Structure 1
């Protein structure tokens, strides 16, 4: 399997917007969101390309086919010279789930940046919590921390890829 993370440029944002519809659909069970009167989830991702270099959207491609996307956010880059990196959004199409694509895409993202990482999942998204715990446990050989934040309702894992 040939997996690549392909940066999404502004001229290709429609592809990412289309994929976000699937992401919002999947996530609607946890966030209680609804579609608009046109049958779509309301989205605005233009800020990814409006000069704010904190946002780094990627398509996940497998053998040349789109398999999902992930967004890497350099959190607090405007105030911190060494920003924490976050996988802000992450989605793998159903066809590619449980095939190793998500794990490989996450590892590819971690390997792209030498940074401190923080990943969060909402408490009732048990599949995401399990996925990220397993990926991070394997990737770090158990060298990570996890805590539950009652304020945000998120589980948060932290680790570093710095050498």
Structure 2
């Protein structure tokens, strides 16, 4: 199995636009989010998936600040990783923020997500942060990040409760891979 993580060029942004609604659907259960009146998992009254995914376009507007990664397995789109830098980081003293990370269910429990996360982290050396839902509904993700970060950092990561300015209570993981 060949797992790759590469920056997604603007001309292929439609691939991430295809994956993004699946990601929102997947995390809706964890966050207790219901679709809007048009069946779109979005807070605003966005009527179509096409309109919703236009919000992703910001990831290609600032190429030295925002980094949209496509995860692929054997040449097939398998997920996404969105990495942000200042000013899009919710905490001080952090250089890289894993804003979103998602692997399609078809590729889960095969080591794809862990390897993809490691490859994403290897793109940038420095102080990292990622956050996830702290509730029991999200235990599998919490276990995944603990295992992945423990392996990647040799146990040199921190974990604490925090608050995201838009999302509320979060479980915050930090590490430095410099």
| Uncovered stretches (5+) of structure 2, i.e. residues with no partner | 43-51
- Find the counterpart in structure 2 of residue 161 from structure 1: 177
For the residue of structure 2 that corresponds to 1:153, the secondary structure is strand
Give the C-alpha shift of residue 13 in structure 1: 1.8
Give a deviation string over 1:43-73, Cα, whole Å, max 9, x none: 3111112236321111111111111111111
**Is 1:89 matched with 2:100?**
yes
- Tell which deviates more after alignment, 59-68 or 4-13: 4-13
CA distance in 2, matches of 1:75, 1:127: 29
TM-score normalised by structure 2 residue count: 0.80
TM-score normalised by structure 1 residue count: 0.87
Structure 1 segment 44-59 matched on structure 2, within 5 A: 44-51=55-62, 53-59=64-70
CA RMSD of aligned residues (A): 2.1
**Is 1:8 matched with 2:21?**
no
Q: How many residues are matched?
A: 159
CA distance in 2, matches of 1:146, 1:126: 14
Alignment equivalent of 2:148, drawn from 111, 129, 135? 135
- Tell which deviates more after alignment, 32-41 or 87-96: 32-41
- Tell which deviates more after alignment, 96-105 or 119-128: 119-128
CA distance in 2, matches of 1:83, 1:146: 14
